[in-house]
Amino acid sequence: MDPMDEDRGLIERCGAGEREAFDELVRKHQRPLYRMLRRMVGNHEDAADLLQGAFVKAFTGLGGFRGMCSFRTWLYRIALNLVKNHYRDRAREATVELDELIAGENPGTLAALIKKQQRLMLGRGLQELPEKQRLTLVLRAQEGHAFAEIAEILKCSPGAARANYHHAVEKLKRLMGSCEAPGEMRPSAEEGA
Amino acid sequence: MAMECRDIKIKELLPEHAAGKLRGDALDRVERHLGSCADCRGEMDLLRMLAAEPVPEPGPAFWEGFPGKVYREVQKEKAVGKRRWYPFRLLDIVVFPGWAPVAALLSVVTIAAVLAWYGSRHFGETPRTETLSQNEYLFEEPEAPLHEYLSGLDEDGLREVDSWSERELVAVAGEIEDAGLNGSRGDYSGEISRMNEEELRRFSSMLEAWEKEVSNET
């Protein structure tokens, strides 16, 4: 069954008051949405709050869902608007927890140390990107969404989604490229990088 | 740094390749391209790092309890929503809260504009005074074309126009009687108030023509 049709069936059953359908719809989308929110805000507490907020808004506003896009797209759109409000309401501390996690690792080899540095740079580079480019890159490269769906979530054209993605990738490549000092070792295949 | 590759079609397949999802012809094409393109190889490294970046997940207890938590919050919101004043619930139908202040502002502006228009139409007219003589105008000379002015009048206004036309165009009324268009001179306000815009336009043209005729004769 087409995932969209499956969701529509569950939504109809939710509307009829079926608790089972409600739980199934939440379980289906909770983990992927949590992962995206966690990447965006960087800590569990905020990601969990935003996750709950997105689902509550989606289910209380189910009357306004006209089925023009998939339920997943609609849910992600709600979640990203909550993320924007979250950024507006507080200072951006998005990479604090992830940075600390990476910094806390104890690399045993030089290769692992270099990789750790690269990951730190990558995390910071992501935060430096303009919001729409970062969102597009996360949704495409980390969450595996197609450009058409990204365009629906971010309410832009597929062409704009592609352009945002390519600009984001080029910026990160330049950043990662500028981090490599001459003579700096890159992890080789033998070292299991 | 490697020269920037312009093959957008290959670049768009790289995230799937990094996630190990490419198959068949697409996989062969990308692998062949990567063999000769340092820029795309660098991009693949970047995408693999992004995809491999672990996201710490909460434990099973969080996931097991989560649907129930959402359900309870939804029931709470629905209960609160039922107690709210209906116009605010209408605003809640629009999911994004940002709409509410914009909608409120638009409503205030619209109501103010309607009140201003209504006030100018109904309270901006010259008031009646008892000192006006019988033959003096009871209303200002309209600035708009006459048919537009007439079509905007209510029943009282049309009655005034009728009274004026009866007083000022005595000669015209007499000619109408002579021509047999009306059996006798009477109160035309009822007929005028029942006219539609086209009829009012024709009537005002007739009045203008007769007025010219009368002023030419005098």
ipTM: 0.75
When the pLDDT of each residue in chain A is averaged and rounded to a whole number, the result is 81
How large a percentage of chain A has pLDDT more than 90? 37
Is the model's pLDDT at B181 over the cut of 50?
A: no
Nearest by CB to A119, from B43, B53, B92: name it: B53
Q: How many residues does chain A have?
A: 193
Region of poorest pLDDT, from A48-57, A178-187, B97-106, B140-149:
A178-187
Q: Which parts of chain A fold into alpha helices (H)?
A: 3-15, 19-41, 44-60, 71-89, 96-104, 110-128, 131-137, 147-154, 158-179
Is the model's pLDDT at B187 over the cut of 90?
A: no
Q: What is the per-residue pLDDT for B201?
A: 77
How far, CA to CA in Å, does A98 sit from each of A35, A43, A48, B86, B188? 13, 8, 16, 45, 86
Is the model's pLDDT at B130 over the cut of 60?
A: no
Q: What is the per-residue pLDDT for A104?
A: 59
With CA atoms as reference, the chain B residue closest to A57 would be: B95
Q: What is the per-residue pLDDT for B211?
A: 74
The stretch A112-123 carries a mean pLDDT of 80
Chain A residues touching residue B3 (CB < 8 angstroms): none
pLDDT tier at B170, thresholds 50, 70, 90: low
Is the model's pLDDT at A176 over the cut of 80?
A: no
Q: What is the per-residue pLDDT for B3?
A: 75
With CA atoms as reference, the chain B residue closest to A97 would be: B56
Nearest by CB to B47, from A30, A63, A141: name it: A141
B81 Cβ contact list (under 8 Å, min separation 6): A60, B89, B92
Region of poorest pLDDT, from A148-152, B43-47, B161-165:
B161-165
Chain A residues touching residue B20 (CB < 8 angstroms): none
pTM: 0.58
How far, CA to CA in Å, does A146 sit from each of A34, A139, A187, B14? 19, 8, 31, 12
Asked if A38 lies within 8 A of B56 by C-beta distance, the reply is yes
Q: What is the per-residue pLDDT for A95?
A: 46
Is the model's pLDDT at A186 over the cut of 80?
A: no
Asked if B51 lies within 8 A of A142 by C-beta distance, the reply is yes
d(Cα B194, Cα A69) in Å, to the nearest integer?
Answer: 52
The stretch B129-145 carries a mean pLDDT of 50
Most confident of A49-53, A74-78, A166-170, B105-109: A49-53
Nearest by CB to A35, from B19, B55, B94: name it: B55
pLDDT tier at B114, thresholds 50, 70, 90: confident
Is the model's pLDDT at A121 over the cut of 80?
A: yes
Is the model's pLDDT at B60 over the cut of 50?
A: yes
What is the per-residue pLDDT across B34-57, written as a single tens digit (0 to 9) for each? 999 999 998 998 898 888 877 888
A57 in B contact zone (CB under 8 Å): yes
pLDDT tier at B25, thresholds 50, 70, 90: very high
Give the pair of three-digit tokens for residue B67: 């649907």
Nearest by CB to A30, from B12, B66, B94: name it: B66
Is the model's pLDDT at B183 over the cut of 50?
A: no
Q: What are A154-163's contacts with CB under 8 Å, separation 24+?
A: A154/A77, A154/A80, A155/A77, A156/A132, A161/A136, A162/B8, A162/B12
How large a percentage of chain B has pLDDT more than 90? 17
Is the model's pLDDT at B63 over the cut of 90?
A: yes
Most confident of A37-46, B57-66, B115-124: B57-66
When the pLDDT of each residue in chain B is averaged and rounded to a whole number, the result is 74
Q: What is the per-residue pLDDT for B178?
A: 55
Region of poorest pLDDT, from B20-24, B128-132, B161-165:
B128-132
User: Looking at per-residue confidence, does A125 or A53 come out higher?
Assistant: A53
The stretch A47-66 carries a mean pLDDT of 90
B142 Cβ contact list (under 8 Å, min separation 6): B149
